[in-house]
Amino acid sequence: MTRFTVNNQPVQYSMDPATPLLWALRDASNLTGTKYGCGTGACGACTVDVDGIAVRSCQRTIGAVEGSYVTTIEGLSHDRSHPAQIAFAAKNVVQCGFCIPGMIMAVSVLLQHNRAPSEDDIRREITNLCRCGIYPRLVEAVLLAASIQRGDETVDAPPAPGILPADAARTVPALVQPR
């Protein structure tokens, strides 16, 4: 049995201790915000926070995180109120969105250790890859997230995920053709 804490909940996996953390999170815990990108640790789509360190979960085994605290994108905030999430929305960072959970986790770890990162700090520490090329907006978003976290700036949190009934009433008729 491998035991550690995921998103503030104790977990115990009856899996081989050599199982990559990525697959335990996705397959056993259904935490699919952690993405499989390359499987080699190069892209960062699978980044999670392990005891305050940004970790490429495809390269870390569950045996290696025994007794640790793991935070995934699902555990960062339930209402998208983390400064990195607010800043990514405010700066329109997201394009396809595949790499974003890993990037947000890497940014959240950076901000735990550096409350006022420079552009050079950001470029050095956030090594996640994005095929859409959002890097200029990424730097702006991290600077904004740091400012929000320090209380220097306020930005409204984006709405919670999901379609509200009022939104559905406006969008669904436009998509459905009458017979």
Domains, the chain, with CATH or none = 2-75 (3.10.20.30), 83-150 (1.10.150.120)
pLDDT at 177 over 80: no
Q: DSSP string covering 21-52, please?
A: HHHIIIIIS--TTS--S-SSSSS-TTEEEETT
**Residue 160 pLDDT class (50, 70, 90 cuts):** low
Dist. CA 112–CA 69, nearest whole Å: 15
Dist. CA 54–CA 95, nearest whole Å: 22
Mean per-residue pLDDT, 38-42: 96
pLDDT at 175 over 50: no
Q: What pLDDT does residue 178 have? A: 44
The pLDDT tens digits of the residues spanning 65-103 come to 999 999 999 999 989 999 999 999 999 999 999 999 999
Bridge partners of 48?
Answer: 55
Rounded to 10 degrees, the C-alpha dihedral 87/93/98/104 comes to -30
Helix (H, G, I), strand (E, B) or coil at 117: coil
The pLDDT tens digits of the residues spanning 107-126 come to 999 999 999 999 999 999 99
Dist. CA 31–CA 27, nearest whole Å: 8
Q: What pLDDT does residue 164 have? A: 52
Q: 106, 52 in Cβ contact below 8 A? A: no
Q: What pLDDT does residue 156 have? A: 76
**Residue 155 pLDDT class (50, 70, 90 cuts):** confident
